[in-house]
Amino acid sequence: MGRTKLVFATTLAALASGVVTLSWALFGGAGWTAAPHAALAATICFLISAVGGVAIMAILRRDCNRLTARLRQTDAPLHSTALSIPQAGFSFLQRALSELAESAERAVNDAAFRTKELEVQLKVATAERQHAEAIIYSISDAVLVTDAFDELVLANDAAARAFGFELGNSCRKPLDQVLHDPNLIGMIRHARHSDSEAPRRVVEHTLHTSAGDRTFKVTLSSVAGPRPVDGADRSAAPAGVVAVLHDMTREKEVAEMKNDFVSMVSHELRTPLASIKAYVEMLIDGEARDDKAQREFYEVIQNEANRLGRLIDNILSIARIESGLVRVTRQPQSLTVIVKDAMEVIAPQARQKQIALTEKLTPVFYQTSADRDMLHQAVLNLLSNAVKYTPINGSVCAEVDVDEAARKVIVRIIDTGVGIPPKDLPFVFDKFFRAEANSRMASGTGLGLSLVKHIIETVHHGRMLLESQVGKGSIFGFELDLCD
């Protein structure tokens, strides 16, 4: 080390002396030729400094080689090296720089990898969100998703329709600005604060709309927020609520209709059965004191048994048509023939009430593709009603008309009966409906017209016709397509 310093100092001194002497000779005013001694001294100094420079280079080169060799021996610890202090410092610096570079490169690589990973995660998350949104949008039930601040985060079309808000500009709005239903908002708030042990609650809720009340089955689920990283608070506070509203209005109506139907059927079946049982018991107990009374009793029993039979037939026919299980045999039929047959069946009933039966029929060759038995039943039901609700000495006329241009055949049963009050007209084809004003006029199942409508409209794709005037009479009819 001391040797290197000496060489370095000697070389620097010689170089400096050479420079001074040369400067003096050149610029000191003596001139090169005027000062040959000075020029010689400068030359000597330069030579000494040149030799020193070569020596320094040799020393540095040697040190460099040692350093390189030392660096190659990676297993040798730094402090045990035999290198001199400048050599060790240089090595440490290089090593540190190298480590720094390596770690910087590692960090850059890591960051790039992490970025790629995050990009993938983002893509997956976006796809999953779109997937979830697609599912929510395709659900026919109304879905509302709210956050911890009771703001609407997500909703679907069904919800927008049910609550009358616009889907596009309702996101991130407070619930009470979107829904105008304090009860439902209260339920959602309550669900958010509810015990996380029971995160799901199902309640029935009635929504009052301008179009009438709608009943919803509301499933409220509180959604837990993200758990703290340290896991200290294990019962994370609910971050929001998912409310799914299933519209049960129609289901309720159907259930009520079914209930009503069962209750009505049981009532309608019990009534003739009650007569049959009572009259049979009266006969057994000898309450019919003479032959005439006995005969009357038997007739009542027979008629009521027939009524019960018709009732059961009608209920089954309607049920079969409604459920699509009915077997339809379509063949070209002449409605003129069908109406004539039905008139013959009804004639005795008409004679009993002195009702004039008349007919205006088209030629037989006009035909329609239809199930003969079903159409016979339909015409018979219309004729039977006409006779039942027409007072004594009235008249019933059966018309079969053809509209060649429209390719339709039209049947009309025109009576001079009691007519139907306008308020009852919309309901006459409903099951078990009987106009109260006329119900004492005749007994009936309340199913006859319902069955006719089913036969004409559901089975034959025709159309029912009805006109009625109280006190004057009714025209019940239907039109069907003619066969080509």
Partner 1 sequence: MTDKTILVADDETHILNVVSLKLRNAGFNVLTAQDGQEALEIALAERPDLVITDYHMPLLSGLELSRRLHAEPTTTAIPVIMLTARGYQLDAHDTEASGILRMLSKPFSPRLLLATVIEVLGGAPVAVGTTGEQ
With a CB cutoff of 8 Å and minimum separation 6, the contacts of 373 are 329
Question: Is residue 285 involved in binding partner 1 (CB under 8 A)?
Answer: yes
With a CB cutoff of 8 Å and minimum separation 6, the contacts of 180 are 163
Question: Is residue 287 involved in binding partner 1 (CB under 8 A)?
Answer: yes
Cα dihedral 91, 94, 100, 105, rounded to 10, equals: -130
Question: Is residue 275 involved in binding partner 1 (CB under 8 A)?
Answer: yes
Q: Which is nearer to partner 1, 17 or 303 (CB)?
A: 303
Q: Which is nearer to partner 1, 86 or 421 (CB)?
A: 421
User: Which has the closest alpha carbon to 301: 322, 332, 270, 275?
Assistant: 275
Distance CA 130, CA 166 (A): 20
User: Which has the closest alpha carbon to 52: 2, 13, 22?
Assistant: 13
Question: Is residue 290 involved in binding partner 1 (CB under 8 A)?
Answer: no
Query: Encoding tokens for residue 71?
Result: 């660096």
Instruction: Write down the least CB distance from residue 274 to partner 1, Å.
Output: 4
Q: 200: how many CB neighbours lie within 10 A of its CB?
A: 11
Instruction: Write down the least CB distance from residue 224 to partner 1, Å.
Output: 47
Question: Is residue 295 involved in binding partner 1 (CB under 8 A)?
Answer: no
Strand locations in 160-237, DSSP E?
Answer: 200-209, 212-224
Characterize 377-386 residue by residue with b for buried, 16 or more Cβ atoms within 10 angstroms of its Cβ, and e for exposed: bbbbbbbbbb
Instruction: Write down the least CB distance from residue 283 to partner 1, Å.
Output: 11
Judged by CB under 8 A, the stretch of 59-67, 177-185, 276-284, 464-472 that binds partner 1 is 276-284
Binding mask 205-244 for partner 1 (x = CB under 8 A): ----------------------------------------
Instruction: Write down the least CB distance from residue 301 to partner 1, Å.
Output: 9
- Among 209, 439, 469, 472, contact with partner 1 (rule: CB under 8 A): 439
Distance CA 380, CA 364 (A): 19
- Among 436, 461, 471, 484, contact with partner 1 (rule: CB under 8 A): 436
- Among 19, 48, 51, 278, contact with partner 1 (rule: CB under 8 A): 278
Judged by CB under 8 A, the stretch of 238-246, 359-367, 377-385, 438-446 that binds partner 1 is 438-446
Identity of the amino acid at 307: R
Judged by CB under 8 A, the stretch of 19-27, 273-281, 413-421, 458-466 that binds partner 1 is 273-281
Instruction: Write down the least CB distance from residue 346 to partner 1, Å.
Output: 21
3-state secondary structure of 25: helix
Identity of the amino acid at 199: P
Binding mask 129-168 for partner 1 (x = CB under 8 A): ----------------------------------------
Our measurement of the distance from residue 82's CA atom to the centroid of its chain's CA atoms, rounded to an integer in Å, reads 81
432: left (phi over 0), alpha (psi -120 to 50) or beta: left
Q: 311: how many CB neighbours lie within 10 A of its CB?
A: 20
The strands making up 200-209's β-sheet, listed across from edge to edge, are 152-155, 142-146, 238-247, 212-224, 200-209
Question: Is residue 304 involved in binding partner 1 (CB under 8 A)?
Answer: yes
Give the largest CA-CA distance in the chain: 185
Long-range contacts of 221-224 (CB under 8 A, 24+ apart): 221/191, 222/191, 222/192, 222/194, 222/196, 223/145, 223/199, 224/196, 224/199
- Among 223, 282, 465, 466, contact with partner 1 (rule: CB under 8 A): 282
Q: Where are the alpha helices (DSSP H) in 353-484?
A: 372-388, 448-453
Total number of residues that touch partner 1 (CB under 8 A): 23
Instruction: Write down the least CB distance from residue 448 to partner 1, Å.
Output: 18
Question: Is residue 274 involved in binding partner 1 (CB under 8 A)?
Answer: yes
Question: Is residue 292 involved in binding partner 1 (CB under 8 A)?
Answer: no
Instruction: For Cα atoms 406, 408, 412, give the angle at the middle one, nearest 5 degrees.
Output: 130
Identity of the amino acid at 224: A
- Among 177, 259, 266, 469, contact with partner 1 (rule: CB under 8 A): 266
Instruction: Write down the least CB distance from residue 474 to partner 1, Å.
Output: 20
Instruction: Write down the least CB distance from residue 469 to partner 1, Å.
Output: 22
Q: 474: how many CB neighbours lie within 10 A of its CB?
A: 25
Judged by CB under 8 A, the stretch of 164-172, 189-197, 274-282, 379-387 that binds partner 1 is 274-282
Q: Which is nearer to partner 1, 170 or 438 (CB)?
A: 438
Cross-strand pairs, 453:
none
Question: Is residue 458 involved in binding partner 1 (CB under 8 A)?
Answer: no
- Among 281, 359, 373, 403, contact with partner 1 (rule: CB under 8 A): 281
Binding site for partner 1 (CB under 8 A): 263, 266-267, 270-271, 273-279, 281-282, 285, 287, 289, 300, 304, 436, 439-440, 443
